[in-house]
């Protein structure tokens, strides 16, 4: 289906709000993690059948680690479990970008995802993280950031 400008919400907005150059400003890792901790929704990127896969999930930031819940049969948990498995390499992205002004920030964390198996930790995370899907989320996954990058999109040309 072809969509015309009339069909696109926000297509007839004030040009002063949406027009103009944007520039990228790198965000230090500490600030990037703080921003990520201020939102509850992100996207986890992992490998499934040798191809990249992305899933939206909700999370909490705990001691610098990203913690999320997933279900038993999830592809991510099947790769991250087992006593001899150190975890699975993942990327995690969260952002706050304004759809109208195209301003905001984006943070990407790369690290190992590991299942949380300690019953006390699992219980604590289950009390903190309330999944927004109608599915049993019995597994808990912790991502320890090895690489944290962030960018802020701001209005204006390069200084």
Domain assignment present for 21 = no
CA distance 84 to 2: 51
Instruction: Please give the pLDDT value at position 4.
Output: 39
**Residue 76, pLDDT above cutoff 50:** yes
Q: Which structural domain range is residue 146 located in?
A: 27-155
Query: What would the mean pLDDT of 44-68 be, rounded to a whole number?
Result: 91
Instruction: Please give the pLDDT value at position 124.
Output: 94
Q: How many structural domains comprise the chain? A: 1
CA distance 4 to 61: 41
Domain assignment present for 14 = no
Residue ranges of E strands in 35-138: 41-48, 51-62, 65-70, 88-97, 104-115
Instruction: Please give the pLDDT value at position 21.
Output: 83
Q: What one-character-per-residue DSSP string does 26-56 give?
A: EE-HHHHHHHHHT-SEEEEEEEETTEEEEEE
**Residue 23, pLDDT above cutoff 70:** yes
> Distance between alpha carbon 62 and the CA centroid of its chain, in Å?
14
The string of pLDDT tens digits covering residues 27-43 is 999 999 999 999 999 99
Query: What would the mean pLDDT of 48-68 be, rounded to a whole number?
Result: 91
User: Are the CB atoms for 22 and 102 separated by under 8 Å?
Assistant: yes
Instruction: Please give the pLDDT value at position 138.
Output: 76
**Residue 51, pLDDT above cutoff 90:** no
The string of pLDDT tens digits covering residues 83-133 is 455 678 899 999 999 999 999 999 999 999 998 989 999 999 989 988 776
Domain assignment present for 65 = yes
Instruction: Please give the pLDDT value at position 11.
Output: 46
- At 66 the three-state DSSP class reads strand
> Which residue's structure tokens are 């304004």?
98
Domain assignment present for 12 = no
Domain assignment present for 64 = yes
User: Are the CB atoms for 134 and 98 separated by under 8 Å?
Assistant: no
Tally Cβ neighbours within 10 Å of residue 145.
Answer: 20
Domain assignment present for 15 = no
Query: What would the mean pLDDT of 127-142 be, rounded to a whole number?
Result: 80
**Residue 3, pLDDT above cutoff 50:** no
- Residue 106 corresponds to which tokens in the numbers above? 């984006």
CATH number at residue 123: 2.30.110.10
CA distance 131 to 54: 17
Domain assignment present for 70 = yes
User: Are the CB atoms for 115 and 77 separated by under 8 Å?
Assistant: yes
Domain assignment present for 18 = no
Indicate whether this model's pTM tops 0.85.
Answer: no
Check residues 91 and 73 and name the one with the higher pLDDT.
91
Pairing between strand 65-70 and 51-62? antiparallel
């Amino acid at each position: 289906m072809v969509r015309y400008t009339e069909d696109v919400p926000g297509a007839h907005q004030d040009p002063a709000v949406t027009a103009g150059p944007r520039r990228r400003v790198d965000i230090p890792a500490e600030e990037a993690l703080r921003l990520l901790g201020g939102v509850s929704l992100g996207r986890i990127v992992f490998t499934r059948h040798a191809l990249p896969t992305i899933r939206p999930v909700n999370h909490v930031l705990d001691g610098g680690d990203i913690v999320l819940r997933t279900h038993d049969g999830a592809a991510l948990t099947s790769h991250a479990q087992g006593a001899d498995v150190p975890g699975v390499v993942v990327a995690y992205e969260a952002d706050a970008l304004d759809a109208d002004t195209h301003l905001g920030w984006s943070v990407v964390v790369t690290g190992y995802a590991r299942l949380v198996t300690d019953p006390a930790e699992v219980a604590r995370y289950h009390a903190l993280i309330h999944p927004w899907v109608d599915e049993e989320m019995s597994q808990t996954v912790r991502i320890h950031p090895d690489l944290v990058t962030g960018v802020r999109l701001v209005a204006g040309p390069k200084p």
